[in-house]
Structure 1
Amino acid sequence: MAKVRSPTTAVPVRNAFREQQWQEAHERYLVCARTVFERLGYHGATVADIVVAANGSRATFYAHFRDKADIAACLFERTLPSGTAMYHRVVEFPELNREIVRAWLDEQVLGFWSRHRVEVEAVNHAMAADPAVAARHYQWIVDAVRLAGWPGTGVPTGLTRASLLVLQLERLCYHWLVRGVEHDRDQLLDILADLWFRELTVLGEDRP
């Protein structure tokens, strides 16, 4: 006699397949949005351009994203795990000194913001257009700092101090590496190293 399968046993398989389809479509739109933003700029790009690049439909786009600002925000969100991992390396320093901080800023932090200049530019324009995206962005920074686990960030004042430090760096990188404002790299790294070494030292002293 053939084994009778419970009606519920196939549901997880179907749900898993649908979830995979949803994730693949979501990722495809994000990849295509990055290409479109890089080619046309945030203001020049339209939802229609992204839909065409993804070989999709407007209905599918709006099933995943609210609008152009939302997909720009989601595109920036894709960078957050690697950004959090980068900031977490601070707690892995063999010791906290200015030279180690400067090397980390030079080799990892500035490289990160350069690699993700398309995402940074898109989300900055999206924040200007949509207050909800701006609120999400600030929360991303706070969450990244919290997950990085820096000493002193377990209390509100330390978390705020560290979040402002990251926000300040991000604004600098936006104007310098994305918008093209000229700076002497070595001079700027020296200033950043002084600032970050001092602030990280203060955070370490304020640990609960």
Structure 2
Amino acid sequence: MTVVQRASIRKPTLRDAQKAQTRRRILDAARAVFFREGYYGATVDQIVAEAGASRPTFYLHFRDKEVILNELMEHYVARALPYMERLPGPYPSVEQLETWLREVGGFLEQEQAIASVLTEVTAHRRANRPRYGFAAIAAWIAALARRAPAFAAAVRKTSPDVDARARAQLLVIEIAWVGETISMNKERDFVDVAVKMVATSLHGFLTHPRFHGGGSKAGKALPKRATVKRVGRTARRM
């Protein structure tokens, strides 16, 4: 390694650590304010008050609250991917899927704040606004495609199966819905029925003979790291 190369590899300083800590504090504060006030009702003043920071400090790190939302959504999708990749596939039983769905529900309970914001911004579509719901669906399908040929058929780069794609998108919405139901609904009988319904629907898709030819190549077409980083940009294009 040359002297120039060594000089270019700078070790993080105390100031760098402090800046990162402040940025994290603002993100956590925004997360809490978005959950309490709603994304569209939240203001920068509320966020900085929650963070114990100032407006100049906020704008040193973020252009506006939409940039914060982009980052929070990227983190949310990234944290969800390991759960998607735990799908007990490629051809799990209904009982295995029920267990998995309850694990997803546990994750969504931990992420209730961001899940509620995602529901809000998805419901209030505005012109030229990112469509985070579609971006999350795309990322989750890509993760599921690495586990099951049925989902892989939906994301093939060449001749993707339109029927598989439509079913995959609908099923991911159902997975999110039942996960939220598990995390928020206290009626055990209702939750049990909801889990059984979604698990049965998902099982039918995963074991459908038409989608068994997707192969593993389709699942590898969208690597996890690239998928997560593109969430904000993908949301804007959709």
TM-score, normalized by the shorter chain, greater than 0.5: yes
Q: Which has the higher mean CA deviation after the structures are superposed, 180-189 or 93-102? A: 180-189
- Deviation, structure 1 residue 170: 2.4
- Deviation, structure 1 residue 194: 0.8
Residue deviations 1:74-109, cap 9 Å, x none?
Answer: 22322222311111111x448511111111112x12
Measure, in 2, the Cα distance between the counterparts of 1:184 and 1:120: 21
The reply on whether 1:192 has 2:189 as its aligned counterpart is no
* Partner SS for 1:78: helix
- Deviation, structure 1 residue 21: 4.9
Q: Which has the higher mean CA deviation after the structures are superposed, 63-72 or 50-59? A: 63-72
Query: Contact 1:73–1:126 (CA<8 Å) still a contact in 2?
Result: no
Query: Contact 1:126–1:133 (CA<8 Å) still a contact in 2?
Result: no
CA gap 1:73/1:129 in 2 versus in 1, 3 angstroms:
farther
Measure, in 1, the Cα distance between the counterparts of 2:68 and 2:126: 12
Identical pairs, percent: 27
Correspondence for 1:122: 117
Query: Contact 1:32–1:54 (CA<8 Å) still a contact in 2?
Result: yes
The reply on whether 1:72 has 2:69 as its aligned counterpart is yes
Query: Contact 2:105–2:179 (CA<8 Å) still a contact in 1?
Result: yes
* Partner SS for 1:89: coil
The reply on whether 1:207 has 2:214 as its aligned counterpart is yes
- Deviation, structure 1 residue 141: 2.0
- Deviation, structure 1 residue 118: 0.9
- Structure number with greater Rg is 1
Measure, in 2, the Cα distance between the counterparts of 1:96 and 1:7: 54
* Partner SS for 1:13: coil
- Deviation, structure 1 residue 19: 5.9
Measure, in 2, the Cα distance between the counterparts of 1:131 and 1:170: 25
Correspondence for 2:106 among 105, 111, 122: 111
The aligned runs of 1:135-150 (5 Å cut-off) are 135-148=131-144, 149=146, 150=148
The reply on whether 1:85 has 2:54 as its aligned counterpart is no
- Deviation, structure 1 residue 50: 0.8
CA gap 1:130/1:28 in 2 versus in 1, 3 angstroms:
farther
Query: Contact 1:51–1:61 (CA<8 Å) still a contact in 2?
Result: yes
TM-score (norm 1): 0.75
Correspondence for 1:170 among 176, 191, 205: 176
Measure, in 2, the Cα distance between the counterparts of 1:34 and 1:135: 18
5+ residue gaps, structure 1, are 1-5
- Deviation, structure 1 residue 112: 1.8
TM-score (norm 2): 0.67
Count of aligned pairs: 200
Letter in 2 for 1:125: E
Query: Contact 1:37–1:122 (CA<8 Å) still a contact in 2?
Result: yes
Correspondence for 2:149: 151
